[in-house]
Copies of this chain bind each other. A is one copy, B any other.
Amino acid sequence: MVQALHSKSSFFTCLLALSLIAVLSSNVEAVTHRHKWEVNYGYKSPDCYKKLAITINGESPGPTIHAQQGDTIVVELNNALFSENVAVHWHGIRQIGTPWSDGTEAVTQCPIMPGDTFIYKFVVDKSNTMNMQAGTYLYHAHYGMQLTAGLYGFIIVSVPDGVLEPFVYDHDRSIILKDWYHASTYEQATGLSSIPFGWVGEPQSLLINGKGRFNCSLLDSSVCNAKNPECSPYSLTVVPGGRYRLRIGSLASLSAMSFEIEGHNMTVVEADGNYVEPFETKHLYINSGETYSVLVKADQDSSRNYWITANVVGRKPSTPTGLAIFNYYPNHRHKKPPTVPTTGPLWNDTASQLAQSRAIKAHHDFVHSPPPRSDRMIVLLNTQNKINGYYHWSLNNRSLTLPATPYLISLKQNFNGAFDQNPPPDSYDVENYDIYSVHDNVNTTSSNAIYSIKFNSTVDIILQNANSMTTGNSETHPWHMHGHDFWVLGFGNGTKFDMVNDPKGFNLVNPIMKNTVPLYPYGWTALRVRTDNPGVWIFHCHIEPHLFMGMGIVFEAGVEKVGKLPKSIMGCGETKRLINP
């Protein structure tokens, strides 16, 4: 339980600074948290439909990792899958000094083979900038479509003892959101890489803390059993009058969602591990890869329960509302609320989603000012294309295809043949490209080329959305960066980014820092990043089938400063050249 003062005065800043100094000088021992994970297949019925999932120690979602800022986390991962490799990414953790622990297959490591045990070891977080890393993070598989298969969970990093947070609560709770498919990930991936194209479609259900609901009535009860307790809705029990910090993270494969607690407003106070200038909302929009903390008061009629709902937004939904119960103690935790669950805001009310994105600003006591100007600007046109008849997503006409040898190793060992050495373009034909119409983009190619960015420089990245290959359609893409938080400078509202005028509107005063940010239909999103973390990092759409179809870029910065790579990340591709029997 954490108690903190809420203050808008500079008194708070002062207090915080003092307490930080106190903590940092008090020689507190950082703790090492050791976890043993066995990754295996398991039959799961999260939405009553029984199917094979990839589990950690038999569970999906996996166990929550708890730590305090500055602690070390060690995860000893044994791959007990039969013939399938695995890699796990620690989403939002910057891996300062340990870029080989980022868990990104083909970027920072060879995947972990069946029978092998790999040790992930990293600190949460050494500070390389002002912002320390207490807050809400995620982990998930970063290989093939294994996130979709169910390998995901929370990392919760709390502030050191005695350090105050800029808000008050009595109880700390967490909810992880996921969409769920009944087709196997092998089937999904095969469809995505086939002619004719087999799209994964909308998910069968939305899971709240690993529990959802699917209408079993049409299916064989051996496959779908509505009475299976495994799929009874998650129930969040609250004490009347209690003040709750609710951490909400999404690791959806596809769906953006609106999250709501019937009859209760939420005050947003944290986003992706960064404190937010508090604002109240009825719906929290959340994209895959994002985390938020909201404060909720259990101050409603406590004689009944309330619905917690998750609804698809951003795509025309065909998935039932995800349901959980906001349970006022001492009501029975499975007592149904007397109301009809909300279906949430209109799925295509982009304006409302955009308004939330714009409302998220750094807490006034935790503003980390961005550098006033950038050294380089990379504009990335997001398009859907066909290459040799296969559907892809592309940035500036390059669709990312990952190499057999991880970039981090290729770069350190000078394996120049391991990937295309010609960097991809920094921009597109801004002047002539019509973002509102379908394009053939016949020059699009698959490429494993990467961006090389000067270490300790400031880069602006402009994500520019466009029409997909469907007339009148442009999709929302949540972009996630590894190894860094970035400043969110601004969003365009259904327009092409104007190089001259739009930068004038950038928020350089109190931009939020995040690791995942949405790009809205036909719009643009501008972000600024300091390349202060030596390594090779992927920046990609967090919709797993989109990444699978090439929607990402890879960049290196300061890779020459990376220390000696551990042997354990090797074994695949050209790294075999380093074997000397």
Minimum C-beta distance from A208 to chain B (A): 26
Specify which of A83, A110, A573 lies most central, judged by the most chain B CB atoms within 10 Å of its CB: A83
B579 engages A564 (CB within 8 Å) = no
Q: Is A227 an interface residue (CB 8 A)?
A: no
Minimum C-beta distance from A142 to chain B (A): 11
Given contacts A41-B186, A113-B85, A145-B82, are A578 and B580 in contact (CB under 8 A)? yes
* A85 partner, pick from B114, B187, B412, B567, beta carbons under 8 A: B114
Q: Interface readout for A488-519 with B: 1 if CB under 8 Å, 0 if not? A: 00000000000000000000000000000000
Q: Is A115 an interface residue (CB 8 A)?
A: yes
Q: Is A189 an interface residue (CB 8 A)?
A: yes
The CA-CA distance from A498 to B575 in the complex, in Å, is 54
**Which residues on B sit within 8 Å (CB–CB) of A337?**
none
Q: Is A341 an interface residue (CB 8 A)?
A: no
A576 engages B581 (CB within 8 Å) = no
Question: In the complex, what residue of chain B is closest to A402 when comparing beta carbons?
Answer: B115
Minimum C-beta distance from A122 to chain B (A): 20
Q: Is A116 an interface residue (CB 8 A)?
A: yes
**Which residues on B sit within 8 Å (CB–CB) of A564?**
581
The CA-CA distance from A559 to B82 in the complex, in Å, is 28
Contact-size category for A: 35 or more
B82 engages A189 (CB within 8 Å) = yes
Q: Is A374 an interface residue (CB 8 A)?
A: no
Question: In the complex, what residue of chain B is closest to A112 when comparing beta carbons?
Answer: B572
Q: Is A413 an interface residue (CB 8 A)?
A: yes
Minimum C-beta distance from A550 to chain B (A): 14
The CA-CA distance from A145 to B42 in the complex, in Å, is 17
B577 engages A567 (CB within 8 Å) = yes
The CA-CA distance from A84 to B194 in the complex, in Å, is 18
Give chain A interface residues in 158-212, CB to chain B under 8 Å.
184, 186-187, 189-190, 194
B565 engages A581 (CB within 8 Å) = yes
Question: In the complex, what residue of chain B is closest to A106 when comparing beta carbons?
Answer: B115
Minimum C-beta distance from A109 to chain B (A): 12
Q: Is A404 an interface residue (CB 8 A)?
A: yes
Q: Is A384 an interface residue (CB 8 A)?
A: no
Q: Interface readout for A400-440 with B: 1 if CB under 8 Å, 0 if not? A: 00111000010011000000000000000000000000000
Question: In the complex, what residue of chain B is closest to A577 when comparing beta carbons?
Answer: B567
A580 engages B580 (CB within 8 Å) = yes
**Other CB < 8 Å A-B pairs besides A186-B186, A570-B579, 11 of them?**
A41-B190, A42-B190, A43-B194, A82-B189, A83-B86, A110-B113, A113-B572, A115-B404, A565-B581, A571-B572, A579-B580
| Interface residue ranges, A against B (CB under 8 Å) | 41-43, 52, 82-86, 106, 110-111, 113-116, 143-146, 184, 186-187, 189-190, 194, 402-404, 409, 412-413, 564-565, 567-568, 570-573, 575-581
